[in-house]
Structure 1
């Protein structure tokens, strides 16, 4: 009988006994020292992924790679952010930088306050402020389902989204050519449930400026999913149409599949998943590999390949992902690093031996 055929509890006990002996401590002492993630990983007995040329498990982080502009902002220096955004007209790369800066501001907004106070006429500061308010709103709400979210959380959520909407409207007026604040409005539309007509108006404004905007399409897909303002039919219809029109949006049908899989895991057995995955792989083999969302798209491809038992290709995608498990697809759980390690471990365990 192999170790993996034993019940998880027995595997865990055996693994903990070995680990305690290796560390020279008691079983109980080890139990007190290990996190839930570490306990689970011990029971899984993951393979040594370095044999497949992958980053060791203990080097995996859920943080994104360090960005000097964002690091400077976190330290209080907003000038590099202002300079970078003033020069950035590649809309996808601009959005990616705004998102990273907004996330930093949502954690510590002092530097953004300084930017807005010292350069009130800089529209780029207003654009970052808008997206930061959106992220603060979602943090105020929390990640729990609606029936587990308090009235106070919802009140904070809606108040901050109202502020974000006002900020976005000012940014749209001040930078009429920039699609970025329109992307923020699409996220706001979801939270405020503005309705289909208003959403379509904002959507038209976005695609008039950037027809294949990557982040904007992801936000729109979320609007059209069943848990927000649409249905599975509307979500999949939107994703398929976008991917058909723009090869750079090849990941969207798989994003839709992932969203649907949260309630229906069997969707990965659908026959259409394979050609959609192949389309994403083709995109990543060409222009997609150098895009600002490449790591996210490699992650989506890796997960889809694991779910469809195409393990050798999955290993290749995990190799491209590297050590940063920061893509949103891993963060639909309280333990994103664990989700990443388990998927990667399964890919290696079932792939051809190196």
Structure 2
């Protein structure tokens, strides 16, 4: 097993996951913007446009790429500059709106998305078959705490275009939590309804397990005695069943094919280790290699350190 080697590579945060074209673009954007030449914006725009025009109709991949680019470019002028240059380019508008959302979310300033709604709607008008403007608008609605009827209206627009959009399901899951605009009962109903009709390897397959991790981490956040016995969460029927349903299949080569499959495997590895199911976590860590996502590992501290320690515990004694 590669991760048992004494020369094991160091774990790394890789927002692009296994999307090598996206990873190369992120590196190129960093190198290009450092040059400071007059043609920098033109070159960066051409590179982003070329990537986002690849694989038309693969909405799962498009959602992943735009979301990663938006997070990467929160402090950059590029999305706004591109949208200003090409006001009828749906990709340019969408990246601009999504970057506003990512920046406002990271800074806790929902008012910074004041014109994001209009931008999303313009992008949706220019590309009526594309679900990603509606996915971005769902994020804006969640940040601005829209009424549930409005949020579900946006949600339905996504589903009409992309039935199992991962980002949309996770966004709705977050919106329906008690910490935002819903309740524990609404979360349970949402997950139950999804599980009843979702293909086992759909892009949104991790929604149920993510809900369990949310609940587990909320117990940890309370501190005190509850945090000390938080591991008991994974012995409850719903949490244990959520793990049992996926632990034998997700790590199998080719079972999960969507763009964020490695992110979902990070969630599974985290949950298995939290449940002290180390033997079952080993093949998941093997499938992950060195690719780490900040969430859910950051709940315990530095995500790379938390991942590395969990990986070592999973393989101890082998």
Q: In the aligned structure 2, how far is the partner of 1:51 from the partner of 1:103? A: 29
Pick aligned residue for 2:28 from 72, 93, 98: 72
Question: Retained in 2: the 8 A contact 1:300–1:329?
Answer: yes
8 Å CA contact 1:240, 1:252 repeated in 2? no
Deviation at 1:331, TM superposition (A): 3.3
Q: Does the residue aligned with 2:218 lie in a helix, a strand or coil?
A: coil
Matches within 5 A, 1:183-332: 183-246=135-198, 247=200, 248=202, 249-264=204-219, 265=230, 266-281=232-247, 282-285=249-252, 287-332=254-299
Cross-structure match for 1:60: 11
Would you say the 8 A contact 1:63–1:325 is kept in 2? yes
1:232 and 1:260 in contact (8 A); partners too? no
- Which stretch shows the higher mean deviation, 92-101 or 173-182? 173-182
The aligned residue for residue 39 of structure 1 is none
CA contact (8 A) 2:251 2:284 kept: no
Partner of 2:63: 95
Q: How many residues align?
A: 286
1:289 partner SS: coil
Answer whether contact 1:54 1:322 (CA < 8 A) is retained.
Answer: no
- How many Å apart are 1:84 and its aligned residue? 2.3
Are positions 1:131 and 2:111 aligned together? no
Q: State the Cα distance separating 1:53 from its structure 2 match.
A: 4.9
Deviation at 1:61, TM superposition (A): 1.9
In structure 2, the gaps of 5 or more residues are 33-39, 220-229
Aligned-partner SS, 2:114: helix
Which of 164, 180, 187 pairs up with 2:116?
164
CA shift, 1:86, in A, is 2.2
Conserved? CA contact 1:284–1:294, under 8 Å: no
Distance 2:58 2:133 in 1: 15
Deviation of the 1:242 alpha carbon = 1.5
Distance apart, 1:340 and its partner CA: 1.6
What does 1:99-110 correspond to in 2, within 5 Å? 99-107=67-75, 109-110=76-77
1:272 CA drift (Å): 3.0
Work out the CA distance in 2 between the residues paired with 1:128 and 1:54. 42
Write out per-residue CA displacement over residues 199-246 of structure 1, whole angstroms, 9 at most, x where no aligned residue: 111111110111111111111100011100111121122123213321
What is the deviation of 1:186? 1.6
CA shift in 2, pair 1:98/1:288, >3 Å: farther
Which digits, 9 at most, give the CA deviation of each residue in 1:87-130, with x for residues without a partner? 332111010000111112213x2332342233332110111111
Query: 1:345 matched to which residue of 2?
Result: 312
Alpha-carbon separation, structure 2, partners of 1:164 and 1:101: 16
Instruction: Report the CA distance shift for 1:93/1:68 in structure 2 as closer, same or farther (over 3 A).
Output: same
More displaced 10-residue stretch of structure 1: 281-290 or 205-214? 281-290
Tell me by how many angstroms 1:328 deviates: 2.4
- Give the CA deviation at 1:344: 2.0
CA 340–55 in structure 1, closer or farther in 2 if over 3 Å, else same: farther
TM-score by length of 2: 0.82
Q: How many angstroms does 1:318 deviate by?
A: 1.2
